[in-house]
Structures are given as structure tokens and as C-alpha cells.
Amino acid sequence: MVAATPLDTTTEVVTPENIAFEYQLAGPFRRLPAYLLDVMVYTCALLLLILIAILIGFASSSMLAVSIWGFIALVIWFVLGWFYGALCETFFNGRTIGKWACGLRVISIDGRPLSGMQATIRNLLRVADMAPYAALGQWEFEMAPIMNIPTALVGLIAVIATKRMQRLGDLAAGTMVVVDEKSWRLPVAKVDDARVPALASFFPGDYRVTPTMARTLAAYAERRSYLTPSRRREIARHLTDPLIDRFEFRHDIDPDLLLYALYFKTFLEADQNEAVALGALAGFSPLRKDQQPTDSGETS
């Protein structure tokens, strides 16, 4: 059977250890804040630079020192403006300061880290991705255009249209931007309902959960806390109706509780032979054959 590729923004990478793992691709809404942060960072660096240059200019009386500092400031401005991204991504392993703050990383499309050459290409071509530029007074002949505002439509369309969400610079360099989040909770849901182990002890010993069923159970247990009780029952009923017949349980059993117990049995139960302490629930049985004949007419 061919596994259906998931309909989400993940991409698979095969490591030299021959393990295939998935990266989540970063779309425009994750990349924009990172880029804006980067712009802020190097604008602040430039302002600081200008401030220092002015201070030195006031402090030193010689014209020569001032112009040498001006020269250095201009060259740094040039290098920062054009190569900030390339330098950061090369030396911080695919991250600029903005990407680091937003949990993004640039890697080659084959999963390896990017080289200095790739970082340079993708950052130089940003100018083309920012096109077309909208300028105030663009269509007036009398005044010169002031303020070039990048609309980034080219880059946006490229990101939307490509499989790995690459802008033109990424396409030329063979890189992609992935989410590289620092920490991730490790969810194994805790079961604190006393009825769950009790119900789980009534499952037949020969019932084995299939892998797809196990995945479904885990997803259900993770998400059931976001659902209202009636919604839980509505969703769970699709799976539990055949199970109730198979286990010969009563028909008025709560479908949500049944699925939750199945989850407990699959993932959490320590030892299957251990007797469950039923407590107040002792004497209760979900099985159809233990049901009182008097209330069978009402529930079935």
C-alpha cells in the first residue's frame, strides 16, 4: 500500500544514519516576523554605528580622523546591508538573530546544513524577492519617487507556489526554511478517572489494538480535553459501536469512557494480570449478560 502523503507542511529528510525524520516548513507568516526582527537588528546596529561615528567626529578635532571613521562606517554599512543575512546564516548554522528568536532555521533541501555559498546566494537574491517596489509618487512626472516600499509579491507568490515554500533566493541556492523549535511538550496523557481502569479490566484478553487504532486512540486522548462531553460521545460513537457489540457490553455505556479505557489499556496499563482495585465500583459490570432484565427494555 502506498502511504498517503500528509496534507500538511512537513518535509522529509533522510540522515546519514538512514533515519527519515520530518521537518515542519516555515510559511510566510512565520518568516515575516523573523525578517522584520532582522531589519530592526541591523537598523539599530547602523544607528549605533552612526552615533559612534558622530561622537568620534565631535571628539576628534582632525578632519582626517573624522573621514577615516566615516569611511569605516560606510564600509560597515555596505557589508551589514548586503551580507548581514549571509554572514549570520553561515556562522550560526543557518540562523540569523531574527530566525533564532522565531525558532526558524535555513537548511539545504537535502537536510544538510547550508554552505557559505548558499547563504550568500539566497541573501543576495532577497532584493528580487522583495520586488515589485512601490514608491510614493511613482506615477507623477514632476516629483522624484520617494521611499521605495518593497511589496515582496514575487517572494510571496514563489513561497505559495513551491512545494517546500521557497522564495526565489531559496530556489536558486537550494535551501528551505524549517521550524526549529526549542522545546516541545512530551504528551502522554495521564488518566485520573477511577472508572477507566475498572472498565479496562472487562476487555477480553484476546483483543489486540491495531497500529492505526493505537494512533487514533492517542490522538483522541490528547484532544478530548478540548471537546465538550456531548461532542466527545458523538465522535467516539463511530468507533465504539462495533466494539460494544464485539465485547458484548451494555448499549448505554458511555462511548467516550470506552475509548478512554481502551487508550489506558493500550498505552498505560502496567501489568495485565494485576487485579484492579475497583473500590466503590465493585459489583458493577458493563457486560450485557449481567444486565438486569428489568431495565433492558429502557436502554436497548
Partner 1 sequence: MNVAALVEKRRTQWAELERMCDGVGTPRDVARFAALYRAACADLALATAYQLPPGTVTYLHRLVGRAHSRLYRSKRFDPASWGRVIFHDAPQQIFSDPCVRIAAILFFGLFSLSAYIAYNEEMFPNYVGSILGTAQVEQMEDSFSNGLSGNFSQYIGMAGFYIQHNTGIGLRCFAFGILLIPCLYVLCTNAAVLGASFGYMARDGVQGGDTFCEFVTAHGPFELTAIALSAGAGLRLGIGLIRTEGLTRLASLKVNALKSVPIMVAAAVLFVLAAFTEGFISPSPLYYPIKAGWAIMSSGLMMFYFVVLGFPRKGQL
Q: Which stretch binds partner 1 (CB under 8 A): 179-187, 232-240, 249-257, 274-282?
A: 179-187
229: contact with partner 1 by CB under 8 A: no
Q: Is 77 in the site for partner 1 (CB under 8 A)?
A: yes
Binding letters toward partner 1, positions 4-23, x by CB under 8 A? ---------x-x-x-x-xxx
Query: For the chain, where are the alpha helices, taking DSSP H only?
Result: 28-59, 63-91, 97-102, 116-124, 126-129, 153-161, 168-173, 195-200, 211-223, 229-247, 255-263, 296-299
> Which of 6, 187, 204, 293 is in the footprint of partner 1 by CB under 8 A?
187
Q: Does the footprint of partner 1 cover residue 112 (CB under 8 A)? A: yes
Regarding 35 and contact with partner 1 (CB under 8 A), the answer is no
34, 107, 199, 244: residue in contact with partner 1 (rule CB under 8 A) = 107
Q: Which of 185, 228, 273, 289 binds partner 1 (CB under 8 A)?
A: 185
Number of residues in contact with partner 1 under rule CB under 8 A? 73
Q: Which of 29, 58, 184, 226 binds partner 1 (CB under 8 A)?
A: 184
Q: Considering the rule CB under 8 A, would residue 181 count as an interface residue with partner 1?
A: yes
Q: Does 219 engage in binding with partner 1 (CB under 8 A)? A: yes
Give the relative orientation of helices 116-124 and 63-91 as an angle to the nearest 10 degrees.
110
Cell of 8: 500538511
Contact 168, 155 (CB under 8 A): yes
CB 226 within 8 A of CB 159: no
Residues between 125 and 154 that touch partner 1 (CB under 8 A):
125-128, 131, 154
> Could you tell me the three cell numbers for 69?
571613521
Shortest approach of partner 1 to residue 144 CB, angstroms? 9
Q: Which amino acid is at 20?
A: A
Contact between 70 and partner 1 per CB under 8 A: yes
Considering the complex, state which of residue 104 and residue 199 has its C-beta at the smaller distance from partner 1: 104
Q: How far is the CB of 297 from partner 1 (least distance, A)?
A: 41
Among 26, 102, 104, 119, which residue interacts with partner 1 (rule: CB under 8 A)? 119
Cα angle 32, 38, 43; round to 5: 125
Angle at 11 between CA 5 and CA 12, to 5 degrees: 85
Burial group, residue 56, by CB count within 10 angstroms (0-12, 13-18, 19+): middle
Are the CB atoms for 135 and 147 separated by under 8 Å? yes
Cβ atoms of residues 158 and 167 within 8 Å? yes
Closest among 225, 217, 199, 204 to 286, alpha carbons compared: 199
By CB under 8 A, residue 246 contacts partner 1: no
- The reply on whether position 64 binds partner 1 by CB under 8 A is yes
